[in-house]
Amino acid sequence: MIMDLPKKFHIGGYAKVEDGVLYIYRLERIEDLMYELTYAMRKHRCVYCGKKLKRSNSTLDHRYPRDTGGVSIVNNLYPTCPLCNSHKSNYLHHEYLKICKTPKTEKKKETKKFNKHKEKNLRKIGYRLPKKWVEFVEISEIKCRPAGEDLRGKKYHRIVAFWNTYHKLPRPVILDRNKALLDGYNIIIFARDFKITTIPCIKLENVELLQNEFKEEL
């Protein structure tokens, strides 16, 4: 997929946007970079109530929520005020907009319908994201540096619990255009441990991680 990018963006020694491509010089916490990119290009108003925002009084809402596979990329992030973000909870963007317009007497029925649909979707796919964002890639094709430490902690065990419930992976990993891993190492480790050879990925065709070599290719 092509990720939304600002026309100009530069963090010295870390990342820059040039000719419509995001070049990442040093891979650190990718979510922080996505937040900075979003603030650099989105209007400083709450996407739900229209309130003017400053960095000090704004949050970023995941259009497709984290707990249903929503990843932190610019296309999935919107500036919101903390109150709207809290009220939206784990509903999809369009679900929350519909709930806001629903009469109070009908809200319970509407939210029940959305929750039922969410559960059905998780059992069928494992996450709730646009189909056009996701492709399936062989783990052997993914370029990845070793973590340097055992990552089988709380995040890993949440993936195990999700798999035991739904028999699906809870979210895609994020790759650059050369299939270098940007985010999702715990998913990679889990897939290796459970002998899963093909996993869902979001491949960002206009993002490139500039590192000369990878010590490990999975």
Which domains, ranges and CATH numbers included, belong to the chain?
9-124 (no CATH), 131-206 (3.90.1530.10)
Indicate the SS3 state at residue 24: strand
Tell me, what's the pLDDT at 212? 52
Tell me, what's the pLDDT at 146? 74
Q: Identify the weakest region by mean pLDDT among 7-11, 26-30, 103-107, 203-207.
A: 26-30
Look up the pTM and report it: 0.91
Tell me, what's the pLDDT at 166? 96
Q: Which tens digit of pLDDT belongs to each residue from 147-204?
A: 666 778 899 999 999 999 999 999 999 999 999 999 999 999 999 999 999 999 999 9
Q: Which tens digit of pLDDT belongs to each residue from 154-170?
A: 999 999 999 999 999 99
Q: Give whole-number Cα distances, 187 to 14, 32, 121, in Å.
A: 25, 19, 20
Tell me, what's the pLDDT at 42? 86
Q: Which residues share a beta bridge with 208?
A: 23
Q: Residue 142: which of 194, 71, 191 has the closest Cα? A: 191
Give the count of alpha carbons within 13 A of 82, CB side only. Answer: 5
Tell me, what's the pLDDT at 152? 86
Band of residue 25 on the pLDDT scale cut at 50, 70, 90: very high
Rg (CA), the chain: 18
Tell me, what's the pLDDT at 51? 92
Q: Which tens digit of pLDDT belongs to each residue from 129-149?
A: 999 999 999 999 999 877 666
Q: Which tens digit of pLDDT belongs to each residue from 86-96?
A: 999 999 999 99
Tell me, what's the pLDDT at 214? 46
Rounded CA gap, 205 and 114, in Å? 32
